[in-house]
Structure 1
Amino acid sequence: MKHKMSILFYAKSAKVAKNGLLPIYLRITINGARIELSTSRFVEKTKWNAEAGKMKGSSEEARLINTHLDTLRTKVYETENWMINNNQEINTQSFKNRLLGVEEKQRKLILIFEDHNKRMKELVGREFSINTLKKYETALSHTKEFLLSQHKIKDISIKQVDIAFINDFDFFLRNTKKCNNNSTIKYIRNFGKIIKQAYVNGWVEKDPFLNYKGKVKQTDRNYLTESELQDVISKDIQIQRLDLVRDIFVFSCFTGLAYIDVFNLTKENVIKGIDGEMWIATHRQKTDSLSKIPILPVSESILKKYKDHPECLNKNKLLPILSNQKMNAYLKEIATVCGINKELTFHIARHTFATTVTLSNGVPIETVSKMLGHTNLKTTQHYAKILDKKISEDMQVLKAKFNTNLQTRSKSMNY
């Protein structure tokens, strides 16, 4: 990082000693910010040359004081050269510490990242999901690999992370790790949280992410059509594990709950709603936002089916859900059995609720957003964009209505 530095020796009139002498001070200005240090030398006001920044004359006293000032000036420039040659960021605090021999505590990027992940791990299940932790652990792994590959080091001072470092890391993820745009941006954002933490703690003077231009590209969200959802519901599945997974997947299709939120459901989450009917009330683990969802008949029948399941009884679970990994593995089998040519994952159930079950059936987007637990309506609007088919069907009805009216008018006017 470029810097501008100047040096000035001056006699400080505001601090006249008892004997009438003025203390000589050293002022170092770095990028407009000042460091002021006492030289431990004093001079009569009439004997100080303010323009030259030294004592007048050639007396022994003048020679000793001016030699001392020259030594200090040399030490300042030597400090500057050392910091430049060792790729150290030069600011008033770091320069003063180096000049005076004060050992500055080195905040290291990887150590800070590891400490962040350690704290996050201890909060898994309360404030974070295991999947969120895994994303940060992967981002940490990529960061370590980047430092070794590009800089031949295992760690780096947090102060050396600048916009050039971030852009190089971005390129490394895309080129070396073969990450697509959205994966790259997500890893960079996880990395960015560590840098922002350092900025908030005062370990760096500014946030280098202010000039980072990476942007997530919106992708089409996969979901089941009405006929595909019906195929999954009505399919006769004799294998018990697949039948269980199908039921829980369908439950999510009619509630919009993500895997971790279904996993956390207990009987206490079933409440009587404002309409006197049974609702599910839960806080989404991802955002901690409240979701209140009326229980539709399909969901209700699934809850009744498993209310006496041993796991539900012993662990106070609403549904005996398997691990996310097993759920997704078995859903692939279900897709094959049902003849659905899509990569079926549990999260598709949430998308299906937003599109096929609610928006396509005229449920207002504000209501859907509230049930999904979105904190921003824009998030829900991404689902609305993929409903061109519904728009087309509605407009076909309107077009047919206009055509009928026009034909009637044409006949009455003998066209």
Structure 2
Amino acid sequence: MTTASLIIIIVNIVLALILATGMTPILVWWERRVAGFIQDRTGPNRCNVGPLRLGGLIQSIADMLKLVFKEDFTSAHIKYKFFFAIAPGILFFCSFLTFAVIPFADTLVIDGKEHVMQAVPTQLGIMWFLAYAGLSTYGIILGGYASGSKFGILSSIRATAQVISYEAAMALAVISMLLTYGSINLSEIVTEQTGTIFGVIPAWGVFMQPLAALIFIVTAFAETNRTPFDIAEGESEIVAGYHTEYSAMKFGLFQVGEFAAMCAGSAIIVTLFFGGYHVPWLDTQTLKDNINIVIIVIMVLLPLKVFVLTKWMKKNNNWKDSNNIRAKETAILTKVFWLLAIAVVAILGSFLATGLGENGVNIAVTVIQIGTFLLKFLLMSLVFIWVRWTLLRFRYDQLQMLGWKVLLPLSLLNIVITATYIVVAGN
């Protein structure tokens, strides 16, 4: 194995780890801030390290540290302590492993050797995702059952009914996508989305299969047990459901697992329906042919973005406090952002001046595609957060009606329409 191959493997694994688990404090902070905005309140903004509050991000880090160092208490009435202990781990690892097959960029070629930009370069693709997404529910079922609590048992029953109801519709929506693209490999599916429809609209899955996209996104919300499909937790009815009896880091693993599932859901939705890592209207070869122009555009837009960000910070942090902490934090962050922007622009400028070479062009295109994927991923995560704080929880009967009487028939109808079109068109 060459040094380049080892570095690329490490980069893929680190990216998967960061996006699946390392994003948890940021997403918790983001969720709190978005919830505060929607509910017309401030959200967390008091916890600080010196003058730095980072808009409330320090609060999320403090909460994570609290869970790590908190005493792990297990109630005496719990009968199945082994299952009780491993349940959070099952949910966490299965949610994380769903992320392992997501392609972050097109195949990277270094010195003539191709490198797949996935943490686990398997051909199973979407089948891997469906397998581990279904298995993650066992963590919820085991956690609720092993708790020996009536709230936990009710939560397990609800989770079982929900996964049966929505896994079928999700799998059928995926079948429509497989008929459209003719492959289960996620990299090949993304490659098929590089063209255009009518010369203008990107050939993304959401435009090719809008009904399948709608069904898959709804069922992905159900898979992650987030509002409006959080009947397994149902705080107003069963306290907290499957994690009522959990404390400390076992409880923390359940929370990290939920956000890992949300991240995996966002990533697979972006990959299947929003072009994955591809920049709209710019395929990999087009990026390579115009890499100098793309880098110049980035060099112009980056300082502009920092200017807007720092102006926004000054506008929203201009109120006085006792120790003038807000002004100090704004000054520090402004300097940091500008130093980073200047450093990035200087590096990009030096690359343009000296020339990138074939390997340099390939690496630059890969970095741009990873950035594109991250932007789409974060926007989809925002949709998950937005929906949670906008819609109410479905009643149990409403949830079952939606799964069996609406989504399942629609997904079957979509398969029939897709297959008929393929046969008639001769594709």
TM interval, shorter chain, is under 0.3
Q: Which has the higher strand share?
A: 1
- Higher RCO (C-alpha under 8 Å, 6+ residues apart): 2
Q: Which has the higher helix share?
A: 2
Per the normalisation by structure 1, the TM-score is 0.21
Per the normalisation by structure 2, the TM-score is 0.20
